[in-house]
Amino acid sequence: MQTGTNFANRRLVQVRRDQLSAGERPAAKAAQGKTIGERELIWMMALLMACNAFGIDAILPALDSLAQSFAIPGNDRQFVVGIYLLAGGLGTLIPGAFADRYGRRPVLFVALGCYILLSLACAAAASFDQLLVLRAVQGFFAAGIIALPPAIIRDRVGGDRMARLMSLIFVIFLLVPAVAPSIGQGVLLLFGDWRWIFASMAVLGSAMTAWVYFRLPETLHEEDRQEIVVSNIARNMVRAVSLRKTIGYTLASSLVFGALFGFINSSQQLIGEAFGAGDMFPLLFALCAGCMAIANWTNSRIVEKFGARRVSHTALFLFIVVAGLQYWFAHQPDEDLWTFVPLMAANMSLLGFIGANFGSIAMQPFKHIAGAASSAQSFLRMTTGALLGATIGYAYDGSARPLATALLVAALTSLAFVLYSEGGRLFGPPEPDDEDD
């Protein structure tokens, strides 16, 4: 009798996995009458997240023009990027709980609507202070486009397969940061005014809204809907950022991406001005982001074979080595563009083996509260990363020393956090596809 029960349970699990692999979860399909294939879902989630990246990187080539327009001194121009990142991190606390109650689609539409309207408002800003306020509001209310894609993917799959899908998403997602500065520079050259860059953000947001409306089914399963009870939401979020086996990965990714945000904040001044790249800045920035995209594609090909832990732990050790080289070169009197860019591209490549894997490991235990977990982890990741990135960017002194120091310290501290989550044991085996709490 027990053998028959076990067989039935195994058969039920297999049928469930087949349903997830073939398309949407059954309740979602019945509710919406839509289906979406894995390839289209990957593109959609990637470009949703890319709206956020475009909102950051497209404005980079125009920071000098914007500073001249508002007579902004020194490093203050970086606040246009930093305030958006920080407010976005704070805003990620909100959408997950509502998405766990009302579904992913309605919350996405609210986030996209805010992104569009506030992009247009930024284009009409009359002062630098007004622009900063609008950017903060935009980042806060558009946070759903950051927080919800991981929850939507977790609705469908788990384990190392989630890491593979997230890697593929990051491949496409990173193409936008690679080309966004070039697009921003093209818009600036074509129209002669940085305000048109914000108008182009509204166009991208409108296109994504139409795509989501017509093609994305609801992925939240009926039995996973959570009531809007503050104590329950708080408990779910606290658990998502306090469970030992996941918190180290959330904090580690916060630090390494905080250092990356520091590079983004100061990249125009560092590459374009200090190293004298000038108009080559968008191309060199694209080279670094492109290396990260290639690494994510490679990760998607190997992660299910070797496991997210083995791949990401190896990459973290290599990241420490490259960061050490960056630190050494940055403290030499003759560092130039052709030592800085290859090393930065190498570390961004290694982030391609770290980011999606760390995020997937951190989300693995939270299948039934994926929205709240994604919000809480995104909040911690984004706020920590934004504050660290702003600090690094504002510490810019005309050299790569502050950035190199931050990369090395962040990498070493990240290793300590991962060791904490893993109880001192690294390079664990692959995880099953849909492991639960």
- Range among 56-65, 172-181, 186-195, 199-208 with highest mean pLDDT value: 199-208
Give me the sign of the Cα torsion angle 153, 156, 159, 160.
Answer: negative
- In this structure, the number of other CB atoms found within 10 A of the CB of residue 386 comes to 26
Q: For the chain, which domains are there?
A: 37-217+229-421 (1.20.1250.20)
- In this structure, the number of other CB atoms found within 10 A of the CB of residue 74 comes to 10
- Does the pLDDT at position 436 exceed 60? no
Q: What is the pLDDT of residue 396?
A: 86
Return the amino acid letter for 237.
M
- Does the pLDDT at position 216 exceed 50? yes
DSSP 272: I
Got the DSSP string for 259-283? HHHHHHHHHIIIIIIIS--GGGHHH
Among 291, 252, 293, 302, residue whose Cα is nearest residue 49: 293
CB 147 within 8 A of CB 374: yes
Q: What is the pLDDT of residue 318?
A: 96
Q: What is the pLDDT of residue 374?
A: 80
- Calculate the alpha carbon distances from 410 to 14, 110, 299, 328, 359 in Å: 41, 35, 22, 16, 17
Q: Which two tokens stand for residue 270?
A: 């560092």
**Cα gap 70→75, rounded to integer Å:** 13
CB 164 within 8 A of CB 304: yes
CB 59 within 8 A of CB 66: yes
DSSP 431: P
- Range among 85-89, 105-109, 146-150 with highest mean pLDDT value: 105-109
Point out the least confidently predicted range of 172-181, 214-223, 271-280, 311-320.
172-181
Q: Write the CB contacts of 190 (distance below 8 Å, at least 6 apart in sequence).
A: 196
Q: Which two tokens stand for residue 63?
A: 């920071």
CB 391 within 8 A of CB 122: no
Mean pLDDT for the chain overall:
83
**Cα gap 196→200, rounded to integer Å:** 6
Point out the least confidently predicted range of 30-44, 109-123, 156-170.
30-44
Q: What is the pLDDT of residue 221?
A: 83
- Does the pLDDT at position 7 exceed 60? no
Q: What is the pLDDT of residue 431?
A: 67
Among 175, 185, 184, residue whose Cα is nearest residue 287: 175
Among 266, 255, 249, 234, residue whose Cα is nearest residue 383: 255
For the full predicted model, state whether its pTM sits above 0.75: no
pLDDT in tens, 48-104: 988 888 888 788 888 888 888 888 877 788 788 888 888 888 888 888 878 888 999
- Calculate the alpha carbon distances from 91 to 87, 143, 254, 257, 380 in Å: 6, 5, 16, 18, 11
Q: Which two tokens stand for residue 57?
A: 């990187």
Q: Write the CB contacts of 392 (distance below 8 Å, at least 6 apart in sequence).
A: 258, 259, 261, 262, 263, 265, 266, 402, 403, 406
Q: Which two tokens stand for residue 59?
A: 């404005």
pLDDT in tens, 241-252: 888 988 999 999
Return the amino acid letter for 80.
V
**Cα gap 137→109, rounded to integer Å:** 16
